[in-house]
Amino acid sequence: MAFNKFDNQRGGNFGPREMVKGNWKCGECGTEITELPFEPAPDRPIYCKDCWSKKRPPRFSR
């Protein structure tokens, strides 16, 4: 199996997670957020990790 075909040197949108830096506040608990593992949508509330996992649909948990 050639699993290492996609080297994570220049992954682009997939592969290694790129942390997006910024200054947000959690829309639920008000925690300050300075890094996100994804690009936040400007017209959507941003949640901290904690609230995210709470808001995520349960079918995503494994």
In sequence order, what are the residues at sequence separation of 6 or more whose Cβ sits closer than 8 angstroms to the Cβ of residue 13?
Answer: none
Q: Is 26 in the site for Zn ion (CB under 5 A)?
A: yes
* DSSP reduced 3-state for 31: coil
How many residues bind Zn ion (CB under 5 A)? The answer is 6
**CB-wise, 16 or 45, nearer to Zn ion?**
45
Least gap, CB of 43 to Zn ion (angstroms): 19
Return the range that interacts with Zn ion (CB under 5 A); candidates 1-9, 14-22, 31-39, 54-62: 31-39
Going by C-alpha positions, the residue among 48, 42, 6, 11 that lies closest to residue 28 is: 48
